[in-house]
A and B are shown apart, each in its own frame.
Chain A
Amino acid sequence: MGCSSSLPDRTTSGRLDSLNSQVVGATESKNARVKLVLLGDSGVGKSCIVLRFVRGQFDPNSKVTVGASFLSQTIALHDSTTVKFEIWDTAGQERYAALAPLYYRGAAVAVVVYDITSPESFDKAQYWVKELQKHGNPDIVMALVGNKADLHENRKVPVQDGVDYAEKNGMFFIETSAKTADNINELFEEIAKRLPQVSSS
């Protein structure tokens, strides 16, 4: 599947156009390169989730050579398939909302994040889901993530609300805590499994 055979050297993957193809750079479905875009209100912990996933730690003092807004991480699945996530963070402030299409264009995965202690951020997450349904890639894999699950005593968004909304919109739902690393790897593993190219191999 995918972009097979005409270019045997998968390390160079020369002819592939990242802007248009969904799972990009994969000359074999066994090694997929996936563009993942993170959407969500500012302050919900989008970059913390990614840092946790990529560096396996919450410690912000860890060395970041380039920046936290673009990071990539490869994970191996059980069937020896590897998926390299290229994670595009977006600015969550309202004033930048109009710019989001530039980022989610060509993305194979969209992870919409909200903060379980903030109903506003949950509203914002729903806005992003609608936005993606209207203007995004129709085959995009969407995940709804309720972050800051460690702050359950301040919870304002019931788990069931997230579950229901995700189910209604054909999304995968999970609650995470970037602080305690709860469900961070599970989130990305589940996404990898849902990628059409990967699962069909």
Chain B
Amino acid sequence: MEVSSNSLTFYDFLDRMRHPASLDLVRSIKSFIVSFSFCTANSESDSKKLQDFLLTMESSIRDHPLWAGATEEEIDCAVEFAQKELQKMNAFKAPREKLLCILNCCRVINNLLLNVAMSSDNVPAGADDFLPILIYVTIKANPPQLHSNLKFIQLYRRQSKLISEAAYYFTNLMSAKSFIIDLDAKSLSINESEFQEKMIQARLDKQEKCIEPCPKLEDMAGPGPSTRRHEMEINMVVEEDYPFMRADPGELTVADVEKLLNLYKEVVTKYSRLRRAVKSLPLAKEPALHFLEAQDTLPRQPRQQEAQLILPQQPKQQDASDITEAK
């Protein structure tokens, strides 16, 4: 649902852009694009140019009669956009980039507030309005590894850069995080029983979602949750030999890459030997071959995994097919 309303708004945007009244906007976008082709590429200055352009463009679009007055849908869209900015944070490696995600998110919220202030009661929005929206956006976005990312920025962003505005918006996300951690009925101005009820409901919803395989990063990196129990049993046996069996993608560090690679090689070697051994057995062990075959051809089918040879999580499942080619 959300996706469709989002794209609708985007098409709506394109439609409005095609309107003759938007000619001046289209013209300035075009001349901006052309201006780019004359200069040599420099990501820093390009980014600056682009950001400046976006800022001026945004305000001229906002001022434009066709876009005057933000609708509910557009506000939803902006909130969603702010969430996406926040969700990106975990995907970036450098503290500077992670911090930028926060700033972008806050910028989207501020633009939204500005729109609302201009089109309605004209009260300029300060922190009284900003923080609640940031908290809402943070809850909705549920950015992966939020606490660790914030800690990481705090520790590793060059201190002289974590000042002024950046420090302010960073502090806001820190406080949004701590508000969410300490969330209770009182802080939401609802009564205790209602709060408990909603929390139980939310937990149930979450569990349901987890049973359905969802395309989250964690799930893509390892076998689906339905195989977890089986995996655990194997883990007990091989934990010593394969220390990454229980590792989550977020826990891994660069230093683990070498270990993982060695383990991967070891597993591949063992696997190839095992295959060769099975094939050369005088008695054609149909079931055994079947299960190895099944793993090669259908690595992603959860039902088959009952009989699967479980590889460590990190050489991902696609590596299993590489093995077949290598043999």
Contact = CB atoms under 8 A, between A and B. Distances in A.
24 contacts: A18-B162, A19-B159, A46-B128, A51-B124, A60-B124, A64-B114, A65-B55, A66-B165, A67-B109, A67-B125, A68-B125, A69-B110, A69-B126, A69-B130, A69-B168, A70-B168, A72-B164, A89-B126, A91-B130, A91-B132, A95-B188, A99-B131, A99-B178, A103-B171
A134 interface: no
A99 B175 contact: yes
Interface string A4-19: 0000000011111111
B304 interface: no
Given A72-B164, A91-B132, A96-B175, A63 B59 contact: yes
A93 B128 contact: yes
Given A70-B165, A103-B171, A12 B124 contact: no
Contacts of B122: 60-61
B50 interface: no
B290 to A, nearest CB: 60
Interface of B: 55, 59, 106-107, 109-110, 113-114, 117-118, 122-128, 130-132, 159-160, 162-165, 167-169, 171-172, 174-175, 178-179, 182, 186-189
A183 to B, nearest CB: 19
A48 B186 CA distance: 29
Contacts of B172: 69
Contacts of B106: 67
A33 B163 CA distance: 11
Contact of B164 (A15, A17, A18, A46): A18
Contact of A24 (B55, B117, B163): B163
Contact of B124 (A16, A43, A48): A48
A16 B128 CA distance: 30
Given A65-B55, A72-B164, A102-B178, A96 B131 contact: yes
Interface string A34-61: 0000100011001110110000000011
A136 interface: no
Contact of A18 (B59, B114, B124, B163): B163
A47 B127 contact: yes
A162 interface: no
Q: Which of B109, B113, B164 has the most CB of A within 10 A?
A: B164
Given A50-B126, A67-B113, A89-B127, A102 B160 contact: no
A91 to B, nearest CB: 4
Contacts of B167: 18-19
B160 A67 contact: no
Report whether over half of chain B's contact residues are helix, strand or loop; otherwise say mixed.
Answer: helix
B130 A66 contact: no
Contacts of A17: 159
Contacts of A13: 160
Interface of A: 12-19, 24-25, 33, 38, 42-43, 46-48, 50-51, 60-61, 63-70, 72, 86, 88-93, 95-96, 98-99, 102-103
In the complex, the 8 A-B pairs of residues with the closest C-beta atoms, listed nearest first? A47-B126, A67-B110, A89-B127, A91-B131, A99-B175, A18-B163, A70-B168, A42-B128
A64 B179 CA distance: 27
Contacts of A89: 126-128, 130
Contacts of B163: 16, 18, 24-25
Contacts of B159: 15-19
B174 A102 contact: yes
A188 B136 CA distance: 33
A51 B117 CA distance: 14
Contacts of A50: 126
A69 B127 contact: yes
A183 B118 CA distance: 26
Contact of B169 (A14, A43, A70): A70
A102 B186 CA distance: 20
Nearest to B122: A60
Given A66-B107, A99-B175, A88 B126 contact: no
A98 B59 CA distance: 36
Given A69-B127, A95-B187, A15 B160 contact: yes
A50 B127 CA distance: 12
Given A64-B114, A66-B110, A43 B128 contact: yes
Given A86-B164, A95-B189, A102 B171 contact: yes
Contacts of A12: 160
Contacts of B168: 69-70, 86, 88
Contacts of A68: 110, 113, 124-126
A42 B126 CA distance: 9
A62 to B, nearest CB: 9
A64 B55 contact: no
Contacts of B179: 95-96, 98-99
